[in-house]
Structure 1
Amino acid sequence: MGSRAGGRRTGPKCIAIVGPFSSGKTTLLEAILARTGTIPRQNPVSSGNTVSDHSPEARAHAMSVEATVATTEFMGDTLTFIDCPGSIEFAFEAEPVLAACDVAVVVAEADEKKIPALQLIMRRLDELGVPRILFLNKIDKSVAGVRDTLKMLQPASSLPLLLRQIPLRKDGVVIGSIDLALERAYIYREYAESEVAEIPGDDKAREIEARFSMLETLADQDDQLMEQLLEEIEPPKDAIFDDLAADLRAGTLTPVLIGAAEKGNGVLRLLKAIRHDAPDIEATRKRLGAPEGNATVVQVMKTVHTAHGGKLSVSRILSGQVADGAELYLPGGEMGKVSGIYRLLGKDQSKLASATAGDTVALGKLDDVRTGQTLTSAKGGMAPLIELSPPQPVYAFALRPKERKDDVKMSAAIQRLAEEDPSLSLRHNQDSAETILSGHGEMHLRVVRERLEGKNQIPVEGHAPAVPYRETIRKPVEQRGRHKKQSGGHGQFGDVVLQIKPLPRGTGFQFTDTITGGVVPKTYIQSVETGVRDYLKSGPMGFPVVDVAVNLSDGSYHAVDSSDMAFQMAAKLAMKEGMASCSPVLLEPVTKVEILTPSDATAKIIALIPQRRGQILGYDAREGWPGWDVVEATMPQAEIGDLIIELRSATAGVATYSASFSHMAELTGRLADDAMNASGKAA
């Protein structure tokens, strides 16, 4: 290996482990930690004892629900791995991680159904400019040829997939690998380093062919290598390794390594590729556009609220050094003081005196700091190097504590959860008096609820948010309203004649007056409008009234007994009696929906839209996304509450949608009755 074989230190690195759901990311991290001696043995995910997926929610659902940080040492270098969830519902966890890491290890397998999920990940790495290594996992269970597998996976990657190893088989069973750069065979041993061996004679021709293919791809970026291949000159191994490293760092290709994480196979070759070939903090600093100079710059990747240690800000030190007690400035210029620096291994922490450029550590007690922010030692702070933009939520429920005394406690707990997961959205709906929690799928919000009840000990109730129905009228009417009351002293008197008529859909509410001769003094006309508006908050069907015009045409007053309140009451009486005669009708909100789906599921998506009272507007290929379509439709808001569950079920978990208000449409018959019954309104 020439110069690569030495013990040269390469500095701390940060590696994101990403990949489709259930591809083996957590298992790979466990294998890495066991191989580097950080943990005594590799535990299977089923044991519930892995370093990653340590939360009760992750173990209960047998899936990663948050990014887990684990730092280890390999060949004298510090490597921090961050295991990111594979489910699209928790994908935003990876956003601030990917931005600040040096390289991503993409864990994939020979499963055609997972290609769209792999494509989503690869596309995001492209957008962020993050170099990546593809680890083809579960090679021991794959029956397909490795090069056929790469052909299958290639459409998911905009970069060429470069095979660096091929499997070594005996009697059809994978027993090891052949490294195409080193031209050596490695015989797998369970949970141990592979045994170096000569390439078997029967496999030599296959190795030569695969190696030449690798060199041809490398030669696309290296003219000297191309000349050597054309002249049939064997290139030096050091030059091949230099090209592999240069192309990975430049983002011109994606090297592919193979293995079986469940048995610890292929892990050492992956670690060496990361150590020797992956870029370091200097390249990441340039990619993020971090300023040159002597100032310390820190990028916050994740926020964690611990039970006893308070708030931790998992951060990448991009430049400079951070010591305990250091003062760091937020983007707005506010100052925070670091109280504790910790190295993380899953849920475990070990205290450090300081951290330097390249380190990934947790900084304690920075209470005002948020995920995604950039901190600096320079007074005045600096603008964030990354911009976090959570996708539009696709699932929501109305949340309330089972006991009212927990209202404030629940709000504070949700605020902490939203700090840990910026993709959560919380709002208060004034119309329905509901607290609406929104996220990216049913499981996403289920985990939030479990954390409220488990970690925070707050029993909660959840239900589908109320649909904002409205009502309007179909025909005009003229109605008198008179409020007259006599008691001791001054009485109350107000008398109005209102002309009520429908307006075109979407117009809203209009109030006018055609009073002549002062039959209703100008001082009371505003009171009449106030009374009308107050009534329109809840019409005959119990919902807010829209698209109505009201004109005050006549009335009378009493010089002593008339008042603002009397005319408000008269207006309400006129509206109450008149609206019932205006043929009131219920309106429901209709949304425009844009669904992003793999093309092979488009027919299923189109079929389910009419089942939800939707109307298909059209569909087309998704621009720049081979194998994906965009389906546009309109659909009643009442039908999209659990739409995402059906979409994900039809697309192996990858479809999503965005929705925006389109218009209000009349709702009659049984559906209207059901809507009023569900809302507790009387017809």
Structure 2
Amino acid sequence: MGDKAHTHLGAAGRAATADQPPSIRNVVLVGHSGSGKTTLVEALALTAGAVNRAGRVEDGSTLSDHDEIEHRRQRSVQLSLVPVEWDGCKINLLDAPGYADFVGELRAGLRAADAALFVVSAAQEEGAVAGSTRLIWEECAAVGMPRAIVVTHLDTARTDYERLARVCGELFGGDDPDAVLPLYLPVLGPEAADGHAPATGLVGLLTRRIFDYSTGERREDPADDAQLPLIEEARNRLIEGIIAESEDETLMDRYLAGEDIDLKTLVEDLEKAVARGSFHPVLAAAPAAPGGRQGLGTVELLDLITRGFPTPLERPAPEVTTPRGEPRPALSCDPDGPLVAEVVKTTSDPYVGRISLVRVFSGTLRPDETVHVSGHGLADRGHEDHDVDERVGSLFSPFGKQQRPMDHCVAGDLACVAKLSRAETGDTLSAKDDPLLMEPWSMPDPLLPLAIQARSKADEDKLSQGLARLAAEDPTMRLEQNPDTHQVVLWCLGEAHVDVALERLRGRYGVQVDAVPHRVALRETFGAPATARGRHVKQSGGHGQFAICDIEVEPLPPGSGIEFVDKVVGGAVPRQFIPSVEKGVRAQAARGVAAGYPLVDVRVTLVDGKAHSVDSSDAAFQTAGALALREAAAGVPVSLLEPVAEVRVLVPDEYVGPVMSDLSGRRGRVVGTEQAGPGRTLVRAEVPELEIGRYAVDLRSLAHGTGRFGRSYARHEAMPPHVADRLRKEEPEGAPR
């Protein structure tokens, strides 16, 4: 790779002509936040001729101008598509956010792509490479996705490309570090005053040729005699790594016998191993010098993508069923096959409306045709299931702020679809007379709660619609209307996710909201048996109100709820008013008897009472029942019950101690640990929900981005008195009583 001449297709930034599956490459760029993914996409677009030397497209905007939130934050927060052409191929570059809060966008990129390019900054600490990036690598490995690594920021002082390449081999190669090896080594320029020698070119280990980028235009020369000995060790290791992955089992024996394997065979075996996902080359790249047209390593990287990464024909499509769950044959990437496409991202444009980024897996999608929308099993997150027909609007290819029209989108390609009013991220588009449903991709569980309230009456009127549109865009967000606390809660993945959600509500949907403290659903119960009388007697002339009831209350085991028992004898309370007393008791229990939280786990027994032949009524006995329960609570201790969650934390072995110590500090009880794969431990604990409201943020800090956790409700149990006293003091006025 890197040894062939290229003829570019004129203004390659215009709508691509390569529109058949063999000529399409879908590549997602992943890596730690700040690794330089967006800058690399811009450098590749410049080399491919899609932008001018100032990095601008035809309308004068840049590729990163399309989202105001990203522009203000100087950080990617959503998946973006940049299509370019190179060597007769259309390359769909999917730039995924590197920050952990936006892993949903990353998963969407992995779904839409056929290969992944891991971007690693030479300026970042090794821990950044070993943390969240390693988790993504394991996700790709689990599905057999081909991967390559590109090292950026080689212009930073004190960088060591060869050391970082070795680190990548150790971290990503697992038991086979020789499956992760560099294809090129940087050529260093003159040493600067600070002792740093910036990279000015690359030397190809297979071709033994120098690719000089020092002028901003790539020039190719043979390596001189002084340089050859410096690359032989790395070259020999690369050749051995390629031969080890070769499908030709005789190649290794021939090599060990001293045969000089020809370059054509090595390159072909390398390309096959990369496409198969068994070999992962390491490359280097940097933006072009001011005024230059080609950034360091960008030609080599585009060569790798077009020649080494698989076409959509080589990657299996997700499984499909009918909307009723009936299995269907596996899809093939055939433009003439049945239409099956998937919405991998949803955004809203103030002028165009809802825009759906779609990956077509089979068939051909055309504007103005009617498709069936099926999906998608996320009703618990505020996303309704769909089974409707919709008319496709226009198709276009995004490029910065531009929308370049497409007259069709074939299997294997990506396009934006306008005005699909019902389709949401994760939904399947198929032929209306043959509806199909794709197996959904896995979404992380949002575990950081954000309670919000509208700032004004006008905002309250718009809040419901704004939240619905926000949820349609982001399947990693869960919308909850909590029936116990009466709060509107957005469950997010982290603080940055929270900030972006609030900013979108304000800026995109015009809804002003305030974040308020999130409350957990507490309960109350009696700490001891009690008896009481409820007396509701009013005589004010005319028809009065008369109801008296005597009750006994006793605590029950956790999870028992409210039991009501009738032990009235002799008709002291007429039979028609027994249900009235029960209704009053249950209504009061729902309102609480001490701190305003629902009362649970008690048995209320009606033992006696009195009635009046004229003044007794259903309403009177409801009131008496409620009064009796309040009176009973006044004479005994009432305990607060807090929800306890079963927490499962998956972390590398080196963080097990700190995690267990942290859980104990949260009043948690560790109930067990178990190995969960090489070098990983699953810690199971029971922790009060009051203590884990911010655990999604705290665990990320504690385990340096390598930990994951899940939680599920276990039970309510008595809160320690000192915690209950503190909570009562901190409870804001007007909290849910």
TM-score range normalised by the length of the shorter chain: over 0.9
1:250 to partner: Cα distance: 1.5
1:25 to partner: Cα distance: 0.6
- Which residue does the alignment assign to 2:27? 15
Match runs of 1:185-224 below 5 Å: 185-189=210-214, 192-222=216-246, 223-224=249-250
- Which residue does the alignment assign to 2:127? 113
Q: Decide whether the 8 Å contact of 1:495 with 1:555 is kept in 2.
A: yes
Match runs of 1:89-238 below 5 Å: 89-110=101-122, 111-114=125-128, 115-141=130-156, 143-144=159-160, 146=162, 149-157=165-173, 160-169=179-188, 173=197, 174-189=199-214, 192-222=216-246, 223-238=249-264
Cα pair distance change 1:515/1:262, threshold 3 Å: farther
Provide Cα deviations, 1:631-652, integer angstroms capped at 9, x if missing partner.
3333221221222222222333
* Paired residue type of 1:273: L
- Which residue does the alignment assign to 1:513? 566
* Paired residue type of 2:74: A
* Paired residue type of 2:399: L
Q: Decide whether the 8 Å contact of 2:477 with 2:490 is kept in 1.
A: yes
1:406 to partner: Cα distance: 1.7
1:620 to partner: Cα distance: 4.6
Is 1:416 the counterpart of 2:464 in the alignment?
A: no
- Deviating more after overlay: 468-477 vs 160-169: 160-169
- Which residue does the alignment assign to 2:305? 274
* Paired residue type of 1:558: H
- Which residue does the alignment assign to 1:251? 277
Cα pair distance change 1:209/1:378, threshold 3 Å: farther
Count residues in correspondence: 676
Query: Normalised by the size of structure 2, how large is the TM-score?
Result: 0.86
In 2, distance between residues paired with 1:3 and 1:193? 16
Q: Decide whether the 8 Å contact of 1:316 with 1:361 is kept in 2.
A: yes
For structure 2, the residue ranges without an aligned partner over 5 or more in a row are 9-17, 290-294, 320-329, 375-385
Q: Decide whether the 8 Å contact of 2:61 with 2:401 is kept in 1.
A: no
Provide Cα deviations, 1:526-583, integer angstroms capped at 9, x if missing partner.
1111111111122122221111111111122223322221211111121111111121
Match of 2:346 among 292, 303, 317: 303
Q: Name the SS for the 1:17 alignment partner.
A: strand
* Paired residue type of 1:555: G
1:517 to partner: Cα distance: 2.3
Match runs of 1:23-62 below 5 Å: 23-41=35-53, 50-52=62-64, 54-62=66-74
Q: Name the SS for the 2:134 alignment partner.
A: helix
- Deviating more after overlay: 18-27 vs 163-172: 163-172
1:299 to partner: Cα distance: 2.5
Q: Decide whether the 8 Å contact of 2:317 with 2:361 is kept in 1.
A: no
Is 1:283 the counterpart of 2:309 in the alignment?
A: no
Provide Cα deviations, 1:574-621, integer angstroms capped at 9, x if missing partner.
111111112112222222222233444444333433443333445454
Q: Decide whether the 8 Å contact of 2:165 with 2:181 is kept in 1.
A: no
Match runs of 1:452-601 below 5 Å: 452-537=505-590, 538-601=592-655
Q: Decide whether the 8 Å contact of 1:4 with 1:276 is kept in 2.
A: no
- Which residue does the alignment assign to 2:292? none
1:460 to partner: Cα distance: 1.1
Q: Decide whether the 8 Å contact of 1:285 with 1:318 is kept in 2.
A: no
- Deviating more after overlay: 400-409 vs 150-159: 150-159
Q: Decide whether the 8 Å contact of 1:303 with 1:314 is kept in 2.
A: yes
* Paired residue type of 1:553: V
* Paired residue type of 1:256: V
Q: Name the SS for the 1:380 alignment partner.
A: coil
* Paired residue type of 1:381: P
In 2, distance between residues paired with 1:601 and 1:200? 49
1:157 to partner: Cα distance: 4.6
Is 1:325 the counterpart of 2:361 in the alignment?
A: no
1:106 to partner: Cα distance: 1.0
Cα pair distance change 1:352/1:241, threshold 3 Å: same
- Which residue does the alignment assign to 1:75? 87
In 1, distance between residues paired with 2:427 and 2:596? 46
Cα pair distance change 1:269/1:614, threshold 3 Å: same
Query: Normalised by the size of structure 1, how large is the TM-score?
Result: 0.92
For structure 1, the residue ranges without an aligned partner over 5 or more in a row are none
In 2, distance between residues paired with 1:278 and 1:62? 30
* Paired residue type of 1:269: E
- Deviating more after overlay: 161-170 vs 17-26: 161-170
Q: Name the SS for the 1:370 alignment partner.
A: coil
1:441 to partner: Cα distance: 0.4
RMSD, aligned CA:
2.7
* Paired residue type of 1:216: E
Cα pair distance change 1:26/1:262, threshold 3 Å: farther
Q: Name the SS for the 2:716 alignment partner.
A: strand
- Which residue does the alignment assign to 1:629? 681
* Paired residue type of 2:557: P
Q: Decide whether the 8 Å contact of 1:11 with 1:358 is kept in 2.
A: no
In 2, distance between residues paired with 1:90 and 1:469? 31
1:458 to partner: Cα distance: 1.9
Q: Decide whether the 8 Å contact of 2:149 with 2:282 is kept in 1.
A: yes
Provide Cα deviations, 1:284-326, integer angstroms capped at 9, x if missing partner.
3556642566323323221121110111111123333333212
Q: Name the SS for the 1:201 alignment partner.
A: coil
- Which residue does the alignment assign to 1:390? 443
